[in-house]
Copies of this chain bind each other. A is one copy, B any other.
Amino acid sequence: MSLIVQKYGGTSVGTPERIKAVAARVKAWRDRGHQVVVVVSAMSGETDRLLALAKSVQTRPLLRELDVLLATGEQVTIALLSMALDEIRCPARSYTGAQVHILTDSAHSKARIRDIDAARVQADLAAGRVVVVAGFQGVDETGNITTLGRGGSDTSAVALAAALKADECQIYTDVDGVYTTDPRIEPRARRLARITFEEMLEMASLGSKVLQIRSVEFAGKYRVPLRVLSSFGEGEGTLITFEEGSVEEAKIAGIAFARDEAKLTLLGVPDQPGVAHRILGPIAEANIEVDMIVQNVAADEATTDFTFTVHRNDYPRAYEILEHAAAELGARQVVGDERIVKVSLVGVGMRSHAGIASKMFAALAKEGINIRMISTSEIKISVVIDERYLELGVRALHEAFDLDTAAA
């Protein structure tokens, strides 16, 4: 017998019929002798409906009250799922975040979990009940309702798994696991049976939005084995593991990419200390997130070229800010490109194997794809290329690294 925490997202509980299907799945696990804790999100569409209601009474809704409002979304789901379980004779009991005392800080709309009182859940499990917990929400020290921000249900599930010392935390979603890349772009993309936490972090942050990145960090920190699997089909999904595996295993886990990027370059900046800060300071103040940053020595050696990427939505504002900075710094020119994408190779095997970068660049060159920027970390290599080459680039790399056939 093992203790399993399962998390079902908004699509998985999007209709009464799907809630019944989740109940059947949960019951099957319990019938096999496992103790099951279920964490659920709001039914799909519900959070947007509530947000629209909030905005109809206040342009910028008060965050404390927005949390009170949004927390009802998951509360509806826990009640319905517990009823559906009871209906098929699987004893169950629902708890809101406050009831199971998911203690958070007081940062409304983006609270962080501090502690969970596992005793109440354990008592129910010992009594043979399935415990259904509202994801995404908690309560602060003075009893105010808080939310963890969108996608926070994953974090709730991982935190519960950690507090309960669960054997596995299963994240049910609308995909059946983590793939070597997006199958919509490369039909030969293959589901990975395993992936390391580090790889998963890079894949998630780079646009393979299977899991919320904070929940992966959380699972890594508390060493909770995490599994991503489909709430509609069967299958083992992808286990996110702590072991790096044997040397025979694949060097590359997969190819992540981010569309909707844009890059900005300040040409001919005087090459002095503090310049980078004077360029990026106003960007940060405008709450624009910067992704890749590259600085190169320019032709005349007294100046430098400074390039960074932002989300495409932020491009016009970033461009404007940069023009001010250019004038102040005496830079020569601002140039930008809002039709670029980022493609990244991710894999822990990269650490011990030279030549991956050159193999990557060769594969892209062979297809005539020009690389605009390069950035590397221990387990990933990212390149910026023209938007129109995204699909071609991903497929070329998938093939070059034999991702459709490699042992996972």
Give A contacts to B, CB under 8 Å: 16, 19-20, 23, 50, 53-54, 56-59, 61-62, 64-66, 68-69, 71-72, 75-76, 78-80, 82-84, 86-87, 93-94, 96, 98-99, 143, 145
Contact = CB atoms under 8 A, between A and B. Distances in A.
A57 B83 contact: yes
A19 B65 CA distance: 14
29 contacts: A16-B53, A16-B57, A23-B57, A54-B79, A57-B80, A57-B84, A57-B87, A58-B83, A58-B84, A58-B86, A58-B87, A59-B87, A62-B86, A64-B93, A64-B94, A65-B83, A65-B86, A65-B94, A66-B79, A68-B82, A68-B94, A68-B96, A69-B75, A69-B79, A72-B75, A72-B76, A75-B75, A98-B98, A99-B143
Contacts of A143: 99
Given A16-B56, A61-B83, 9 more contacts: A62-B86, A64-B94, A65-B78, A65-B80, A65-B86, A69-B80, A69-B83, A71-B75, A72-B75
A76 B69 contact: yes
A63 to B, nearest CB: 10
A61 B93 CA distance: 13
A188 B68 CA distance: 46
A68 B79 contact: yes
B50 A19 contact: no
Interface of A is mostly: helix
Nearest to A43: B53
Contacts of A86: 58, 62, 65
B82 A65 contact: yes
A57 B19 contact: yes
A241 B166 CA distance: 60
A20 B55 CA distance: 12
Contacts of A66: 79, 83
Contacts of A64: 82, 93-94
Contacts of A65: 78-80, 82-83, 86, 94
Contacts of A99: 143, 145
A59 to B, nearest CB: 8
Contacts of A19: 57
A245 to B, nearest CB: 43
A75 B80 contact: no
A377 B61 CA distance: 54
Contacts of A93: 64
A407 to B, nearest CB: 43
A80 B62 contact: no
A72 B49 CA distance: 14
A109 to B, nearest CB: 13
A216 to B, nearest CB: 30
Contacts of A20: 57
Nearest to A67: B79
A67 to B, nearest CB: 8
A56 B19 CA distance: 10
Contacts of A79: 54, 65-66, 68-69
A71 B61 CA distance: 22
Contacts of A84: 57-58
A23 B56 CA distance: 14
Contacts of A53: 16, 76, 80
A50 to B, nearest CB: 7
B71 A54 contact: no
Given A16-B56, A57-B87, A62 B75 contact: no
A86 to B, nearest CB: 5
- For A57, A84, A99, which residue has the most chain B Cβ atoms within 10 angstroms? A57
B62 A83 contact: yes
Contacts of A59: 87
